[in-house]
Amino acid sequence: MWLAAYFIFFGIPHLTVFYFPLILVPLMIISLGISWFLASLGVFLRDISQFIGLFTTALMFLSPVFYSAEILPENFRNLMYFNPLTAVIEQTRNTLYWGKHPDFEVLGFYWLAAFIIAWLGFIWFQKTRKGFADVL
């Protein structure tokens, strides 16, 4: 959809559009790790879904979707990068819309963090799955 709209309004997109999968895959890996963690935690704590809905809403409002993180002061900007969506949104905006290359240092750290979160989520799930039948 974005590609069609960009083509209609601005013409041919930049070649940096091919960096988009490199930016999006770590978000999927982080989502997988968090899903493993929350799936096993949801078995033992039934009310976790109410907390997750609130947390997800807050995370979306704290993400730089309608503004750039560059307009914030430096100390808040560094704090904002703890939000897992900030790096994806900023890098996607730079590569798809502005035609800039992604910041490979931020992207490398994001890939490393994604694999660590997925690995920890998988380990947590494997350790707690033995008790699923007892609780359910």
Q: What is the pLDDT of residue 80?
A: 87
Cβ-Cβ contacts under 8 Å for 35 (sequence gap 6 or more): 121
Q: What is the pLDDT of residue 135?
A: 79
Q: What is the pLDDT of residue 70?
A: 86
Tell me which of 74-78, 110-114, 132-136 is least confident. 132-136
What percent of the chain is modeled with pLDDT above 90? 58
77 part of a folded domain: yes
* pLDDT surpassing 80 at residue 136: no
Counting the structural domains of the chain, the total is 1
User: Could you list the residue range(s) of the whole structural domain that residue 41 is in?
Assistant: 16-129
3 part of a folded domain: no
34 part of a folded domain: yes
- Which has the closest alpha carbon to 135: 35, 49, 39, 32? 39
What's the whole-model pTM score? 0.86
